[in-house]
Amino acid sequence: MSNTRSIEEIADIQKNTLRVLVASQIAGSAALAAAVTVGAFVMQDILGQSTPWGGAASATVTMGTAFMAQVLARQMNQHGRRRGLQIGYALAIVGGLIAGVGAETKTLWVFILGLFLFGNGQAANLLSRYAATDLAQPNNRGAAMSRILFASTFGAVFGPLLIRPAEELGMSLFGWNQYTGPWIFSGLFFLTSLINTSVRLRPDPLEVAGGLNSQAAAGVPKRSFKDVWVVFRGSADGRLALTSMVISQMTMVAVMTMTPVHLKGHGHETVSAYVISLHIVGMFAFSPLIGKFSDLRGRYNTIMIGSLLLIGSTVMSALAGDSPALLFPSLWLLGIGWSFGLIGGSSLLVDSVATESRVRVQGTADLLMSFFGGMAGFSSGFIRKAIGFHWLSNLGTLLAAVLLISVIVRVGRASVQNSA
């Protein structure tokens, strides 16, 4: 950390950083939650109710997230966290407006373009959790990161619940189609995040932490994707962290994306918003406790619990059948399992990577997490149509089992190394 500031000054800056990030996260998560819920419905509205492309909406947002994770991380690496977040939120605003135009005109390529740009907001929100750790002490990184995820609860819970009012407001005031309003208003939510970050995130936490000096101003060469991959190859903990983040994201996205479509197909469309809201509560509401658990009990235990919860939740969703009754607890546990996997993996990643590589490695990890999550979301519609929602859930169980085996193997090898 910077040697020119006192411990008290750094602590005050960290408090301000967390307050700013929390506020932006609330608005951004509300936008994302609302958009994810109606995205598949817009695809059905454009392509027909029986289309297997419903998952392409969530997948496109996630692919936009994956693409921009590296771009935003590079901007943060060179200019600070604020610049990267500003770009992400600004492009998300444009994306929400374009997606609204696509939903209104039922033009597929316009809607897809809007979705891709909208993914910038998710990339910015995800990278915010690392910004929370820039000035945190090593034994408090999990707790700092979890505060940002916890903030998502408020926006993410109310986001889907605001879908219907946004639809009715758009239809009554402007004569829009049913699904246009939520996209337009989601874009405007990101405007709040942009203004908040631009005005209040000062000084920049990465600059105060010395991240800019160590990676750019000090003349350290910029790291390519190949260089970053070498970092992963040389760190067993780094590889486990990446595995946890990727598998948690893939499992969560695949099942969550098709849940509203599955419910709608069985006459339960009005229930889907509540199921997704409960799922998002699971994703974020317990993150402070999970962060503290990760700091106190270790990253391995956190990841292991996450994998077990993902297994349990996907087994439950496979048994749900036509009724939404089991999907409420299933999607709730799916969110909690994802939170354990993401916080455990992200904290382990920060712990296992040197400062001079950290920002670019974080961007690469989020790129891969979002890319494979996007592929899971994209394929989920085809898998559901071909073999059913229950088999899609079973595939999620298989992925989570791979994560469980990976962490057990790593714990065993670490024990051998420590005893040698």
Among the listed ranges 104-118, 206-220, 273-287, 384-398, which one has the minimum average pLDDT value? 206-220
* Calpha distance 13→395 (Å, rounded): 44
7-411 to CATH, choices 3.10.620.30, 3.40.190.80, 1.20.1250.20, 1.10.357.10: 1.20.1250.20
Among the listed ranges 74-78, 160-164, 221-225, 378-382, which one has the minimum average pLDDT value? 221-225
- Average confidence score pLDDT of the chain: 87
> Residue 1: pLDDT above 70?
no
How many CB atoms are closer than 10 A to CB 185?
A: 23
Are residues 258 and 57 in contact, defined by beta-carbon separation less than 8 angstroms?
no
> Residue 58: pLDDT above 90?
no
Please report the DSSP string for 210-229 in residue order.
THHIIIIIT-PPPPPHHHHH
For residue 167, give the 3-state DSSP assignment: helix
Both tokens of 52, joined, read 């297997």
Q: What is the average pLDDT across 375-385?
A: 86
Element (H, E) at 58: helix 56-79
Q: What is the average pLDDT across 2-27?
A: 88
* Calpha distance 145→241 (Å, rounded): 15
> Residue 284: pLDDT above 80?
yes
Q: Report pTM.
A: 0.78
How many CB atoms are closer than 10 A to CB 118?
A: 31
How many CB atoms are closer than 10 A to CB 140?
A: 15
Are residues 58 and 257 in contact, defined by beta-carbon separation less than 8 angstroms?
yes
Are residues 365 and 242 in contact, defined by beta-carbon separation less than 8 angstroms?
yes
> Residue 391: pLDDT above 50?
yes
**Amino acid making up residue 261:** V
For the chain, the domains span: 7-411
Q: Which band of pLDDT confidence, cut at 50, 70 and 90, is reported for residue 211?
A: low
Please report the DSSP string for 79-124 in residue order.
H-HHHHHHHHHHHHHHHHHHHHHHHHHT-HHHHHHHHHHHHHHHHH
Better pLDDT: 327 or 48: 327
**Look-up: residue for tokens 């994998």?**
307
Q: Which band of pLDDT confidence, cut at 50, 70 and 90, is reported for residue 77?
A: confident
> Residue 294: pLDDT above 60?
yes
Q: Which band of pLDDT confidence, cut at 50, 70 and 90, is reported for residue 43?
A: confident
Residues, the chain: 420
pLDDT of residue 222: 54
Among the listed ranges 1-10, 332-341, 378-387, which one has the minimum average pLDDT value? 1-10
Q: What is the average pLDDT across 341-359?
A: 87
Q: How far is CA 294 from the centre of its chain?
A: 19
Phi, psi of 371 (to 5 degrees): -60, -50
Closest CA to 34 of 277, 223, 213: 277
* Calpha distance 322→44 (Å, rounded): 20
Q: Which band of pLDDT confidence, cut at 50, 70 and 90, is reported for residue 225?
A: low
Q: How far is CA 179 from the centre of its chain?
A: 23
Q: Which band of pLDDT confidence, cut at 50, 70 and 90, is reported for residue 214?
A: very low
> Which range in 58-72, 254-268, 299-313, 377-391 is most confidently predicted, on average pLDDT?
299-313
pLDDT of residue 317: 93
Q: What is the pLDDT of residues 138-188, one digit of tens each?
A: 888 888 998 998 888 888 777 877 888 889 999 999 999 888 999 998 988
Q: Which band of pLDDT confidence, cut at 50, 70 and 90, is reported for residue 36?
A: confident
> Which range in 98-112, 128-142, 248-262, 312-326 is most confidently predicted, on average pLDDT?
98-112
pLDDT of residue 231: 81
* Calpha distance 52→42 (Å, rounded): 13
CA distances from 373 to 21, 61, 121, 340 (A): 24, 10, 16, 16
pLDDT of residue 224: 61
For residue 204, give the 3-state DSSP assignment: coil
Are residues 156 and 29 in contact, defined by beta-carbon separation less than 8 angstroms?
yes
CA distances from 260 to 55, 107, 320, 333, 381 (A): 10, 22, 13, 17, 11
Are residues 276 and 37 in contact, defined by beta-carbon separation less than 8 angstroms?
yes
pLDDT of residue 212: 61
> Residue 215: pLDDT above 70?
no
Q: What is the average pLDDT across 77-100?
A: 94
First-to-last C-alpha distance (Å) of the chain:
34
> Residue 81: pLDDT above 70?
yes
